[in-house]
Amino acid sequence: MRWRHPVFAALMPALFALAATAEEAGISVRDAWVRETPPGMTMTAGYMVLQNKTSRPQVLVAASSSAFETVMIHRTVARQGMTGMEHSPQVELPPNASLLFAPGGYHLMLLNPKRTLRAGDRVEIRLEFRGDLVLLVACEVRK
Amino acid sequence: MMTAVVLAAILGGAWLTAIYRENGSRAMLLPDQVMTLFPAPRPLAAFAFTDHDNRVFDLSRLRGKWSFLFFGYTHCPDICPTTLATLARVHENIAKSTAGAKDVQFVFISVDPNRDTASKLRQYVTYFDTTFLGVTGGDAQLGNLAGQLGAAYQVAVTRGVENYPVYHTAAVFLVDPRARYHAVFAPPLDAEGISRRFQVLRELEGPQAT
């Protein structure tokens, strides 16, 4: 979904109103990006820096996006000299700390994009934290 | 299907390193954790894969060129695209060097032949770099080369499950133009670090390597 899409434009105020809940609670995100999908592939990954500015732990419990059929919180892990992906049902952000979603570590596994994503496009991802906090993240698609 | 062959070079933390000197050359490769060099490169034994153009990819295809080998699979959203993007930058850097990249090839070895057909592999690897080559083979052949390189992989093919788990070594293996296992680059991979070390190594090895 591009920013200029009329439906999205109409929804913008509502989205920002929702986003304010987590922002106000002290959780923010920066450098959010999604890797362009290689041709023929039905999956890619999303990365970002999550910041918890509050003095208590915050727990990321789910993620979703209108641009993908499924979004899962995954972590690339090493075991016995090999790397693989593991599903992380939830991720805790320690108080007053940043948590990196980056290649080779935590990432959002994005399955079955609803359209082909090209570098420069934007997609939004909805992050849900424990306590009904929601953060809408604008991600840039990069190669 | 499950294969796991791991050599001490990768697991044991025994970082084999060597200092290379040549008469009249001040260049040397000092021990570091970007590239692990084998003081005595190990000749590889025969193996047989099929490349993304359905041609045989065997030991002879490794001769006459420096080969960067990486094990992975296309249904891999994090490590594989990250590594292939890094290797594309390595290729770009090497191509810009005086010696160029004509004697260098990059080979993506899929450990997931069940899903990675030749055409899928071609579409996937050439997206990152048009010169990249995708190859795959049966479990015995994959296990054969992986074992020789100290790589490991594990594929849990599950009927009816679209995204079954795959584990694989994330290192990049360097085979010299005499088809000998010469060095390994351990993750986290850095394009500039790999390019620089490769160029020094190639210069030092010079004609001996071919």
Query: What integer is the mean pLDDT of B13-23?
Result: 40
- Given this model, what pLDDT does residue B207 score? 65
pLDDT over threshold 60, residue B76: yes
CA distance B40 to B37: 9
Q: How far is B119 from chain A (nearest CA, A)?
A: 10
* B 89-118 → A contacts, CB under 8 A: none
The model's pTM: 0.85
Q: How far is B129 from chain A (nearest CA, A)?
A: 11
Third-level CATH fold of A6-142: Immunoglobulin-like (2.60.40)
Q: Per residue in A20-74, pLDDT tens? A: 566 767 999 999 999 999 998 999 999 999 999 999 999 999 999 999 999 999 9
* C-alpha to C-alpha distances, B38 to B76, B85, B180, B199, nearest whole angstrom: 30, 26, 10, 16
Q: By mean pLDDT, which of A52-61, A101-110, B4-13, B83-92 is the weakest? A: B4-13
SS3 B141: helix
Q: Look up the ipTM and state it.
A: 0.82
Closest residue in chain A to residue B10, using alpha carbons only:
A81
**Bridge partners, residue A29, by sequence:** A50
- Given this model, what pLDDT does residue B45 score? 98
Domain boundaries, chain A: 6-142
pLDDT over threshold 50, residue B107: yes
- Given this model, what pLDDT does residue B19 score? 43
pLDDT band at A8 (very low <50, low <70, confident <90, very high): low
Tokens, residue B77:
């959203």
Domain boundaries, chain B: 2-27+43-205
Q: Per residue in A78-119, pLDDT tens? A: 988 899 999 999 999 999 999 999 999 999 999 999 999 999
With DSSP H G I counted as helix, E B as strand and the rest as coil, what are the percentages for chain A, rounded to 5? 15, 55, 30
Q: How far is B203 from chain A (nearest CA, A)?
A: 31
Name every chain B residue with its beta carbon within 8 A of the beta carbon of A83.
79, 167-170, 187
Instruction: Give me the CATH code for the B2-27+43-205 domain, please.
Output: 3.40.30.10
CA distance A43 to B75: 7
* B 126-185 → A contacts, CB under 8 A: 127-128, 152-154, 163, 165-170
* C-alpha to C-alpha distances, B67 to B132, B174, B178, nearest whole angstrom: 11, 6, 10
Round the average pLDDT of chain B to a whole number and report it: 87
Name every chain A residue with its beta carbon within 8 A of the beta carbon of B189.
none
Interchain contact B68–A (C-beta under 8 A): no
Q: Which of B76, B82, B153 is facing A104, going by the closest CB pair? A: B82
pLDDT over threshold 50, residue B9: no
Interchain contact B123–A (C-beta under 8 A): yes
Asked whether the CA dihedral B100, B74, B172, B93 is positive or negative, the reply is positive
pLDDT over threshold 70, residue B13: no
Burial A54-67 (b: 16+ CB within 10 A, else e): eeeebebeebebeb
Closest residue in chain B to residue A79, using alpha carbons only:
B167
pLDDT over threshold 70, residue B210: no
pLDDT band at B162 (very low <50, low <70, confident <90, very high): confident
CA distance A141 to A121: 5
SS3 B152: coil
Q: How far is A122 from chain B (nearest CA, A)?
A: 18
